[in-house]
Amino acid sequence: MTQENGQPKPKPHKIIVAIDGYSSCGKSTLAKALAKTLHYAYLDTGAMYRAVTLFMLEKGIDYNDPAAVAEALEHIEIHFERIQGQNHTFLNGVDVEREIREMRVSEHVSPVSTISAVRRAMVAQQKAMGKRRGIVADGRDIATVVFPDAELKIFLTADTDVRTSRRHLELAAKGIDAEWDEIRRNLRERDHIDSTRADSPLRQAEDAIVIDNTLLSEAEQLEKALSLAQAQIGR
């Protein structure tokens, strides 16, 4: 393809889309759909903190002990694989995609995520994964710490009861049994810990665009985000 001046048309450049927000407000649904539409990689940073937490729980490691945490981090390898079109999280070579979503992990993941040594290790890996751009990442510190130079920053929000119901359905679909009230309490607790921790708390980046998806369908939120992304890609 050429432009009017006969020069080859520049290829659209690849961008980074950073999506932050509270627990269960649809970040991963949006990030996955956006990555699929743009043919980008999807980076689920919450899954990485969940995998670290699972390791601590399974090995009976006291995560309040800094030396034990440092030692544990030496023995943790996390990567992602696509299996039948789905993102799967691997911890030391084992597919833990299902286990990391269980309530026992949700109960401990926020305190584990407050530990600076854990954050340093995860953020370094995430930055490396984003080197070639063409990535949609979701989490709590993506636009502020991991990819502060992301071309598109989205801060997603939704009503707490709506988030609880969505999470309840999502867990039920995976065959994971949990009470609605227990899920709601866990969401509120994680929101509190995630946004008040000393190291890289969840907060809206100054240049982030807020999308409240309480009343939006998945298709509607995707459409909004896609047009924002395309505006950046076409620049």
Per CB under 6 A, residues contacting ligand DC are 23, 45-46, 49-50, 109-110, 113, 139-142, 190, 194
Shortest Å distance, C-beta 45 to ligand DC: 4
Q: Give the residue with the Cβ less far from ligand DC, 89 or 229.
A: 89
The whole-angstrom separation of Cα 229 and Cα 219 is 15
Shortest Å distance, C-beta 219 to ligand DC: 22
Shortest Å distance, C-beta 103 to ligand DC: 12
Q: Give the residue with the Cβ less far from ligand DC, 49 or 55.
A: 49
Contact 53, 112 (CB under 8 A): yes
Estimate to the nearest angstrom the gap between the alpha carbon of 228 and the chain centroid.
Answer: 19
- Beta pairing partners, 44: 138
The whole-angstrom separation of Cα 203 and Cα 122 is 18
Q: Give the residue with the Cβ less far from ligand DC, 56 or 109.
A: 109
Shortest Å distance, C-beta 7 to ligand DC: 41
Q: Give the residue with the Cβ less far from ligand DC, 160 or 230.
A: 160
Q: Give the residue with the Cβ less far from ligand DC, 112 or 235.
A: 112
Shortest Å distance, C-beta 41 to ligand DC: 16
Shortest Å distance, C-beta 23 to ligand DC: 5
- One DSSP character per residue, 91-105 reads ETTEE-TTGGGSHHH
Tokens, residue 139:
């989490």
Beta strand 152-157 with 16-21 is parallel
Q: Give the residue with the Cβ less far from ligand DC, 33 or 142.
A: 142
Locate tokens 């810990």: which residue? 193
